[in-house]
Structure 1
């Protein structure tokens, strides 16, 4: 994303936070990518605001993508009478920020084997902008799409075919989505918990190759750009490596006889 777009995002976030604080209603961004969320955290740091407080310009905020561990998410700013728990509960019962659309074939026997790219491509062909759509979770003969409430209505009305498959779409509760990204559990030994060492281990790279990815700003840790290979990962850290994938670092489970750490990760597949 160009710097000008980052400046626009920063101005937009400030405006939304101020409006929620002054007018007493929920405001939100569109769906943001990992790099955009990383910029948001960077903006907080530059202004001396702790990201652990979850408050900006007087408003509490929630990073929300419709389900836990969503990769694409909105920044939702809450009025002073609403806390995060109340907001999430209201979104499950009466969605106002985003909706979940369940897509299934009209005749599963004669449907194509559709993947994430097929679903996304068909949505883009409707003229929908990418920032109006969150994660797309695909399963066997079905998919769940998280989208803004307005776009969810449009999808239900206008999406009737994906490739050669006729489909039906209906809005459902986000809690009805029982698909989650699949992952592979991996264990092995590393010299340390440095992020370059862990990345090299997960993706079978050399330490220098992992460091080059970090220097190219292609590595995100918990939504923030990693600038140093010397950063120690914490258990629960979510790492995304552009061009390679993403994983969750579960931490060390012991040491080898030679003093190396035995670590566990969950790599998304």
Structure 2
């Protein structure tokens, strides 16, 4: 979700101090917000010069392949298409190095689509930030599934598998740092979207060290993930998001959403 903020909140900085914006200017500004991008194409549609000078463009299209949001997270395919955009150029110029706080003449609305492959998401799962989050979730959810988990187990080797039909498989190991003892974690679950706002796990099953995880513990996992992946928190930053499609096939994970930014984000 952070990428949506990067993409849309940076749009207010895409106008130069002279009020002129062209495709290459937009691409350069966008690349500056990313770690890197293997391919990135930007097109400003139907933008007469007099509109551009007044801070208006009719449509902005962005298409990318191999877009790295950070050094750990790569998006295989990215597509963005906005509605008409109108910004306050005087406010942008006055803000100087902080154009994101500039007021918009109208909210920015856009459709966004992301596609991920297994290899990229597994690379992200192995990052320190992801491991820390998985450690926290594993301890709180699966801890009671094995009597020996009063030890300081560490989660290692997380792996994600696309199963198709909107189902995911996740495996990992819990390792006792004081010995070679390991416990295997296996989770399989369906994923759905509730009201365009939250993700929900469907019919999850899990084992820890070969022991079936009780349903009441999985219920806690379902609630925890749903709360973490809710778009509600983004609204506090001036960004309204509605998830339009979530699809998992054996080849890729695809996410489409509608976003609206009011210009009050910080």
TM-score (norm 2): 0.24
Kindly name which structure, 1 or 2, has the bigger radius of gyration based on alpha carbons. Answer: 2
TM-score (norm 1): 0.23
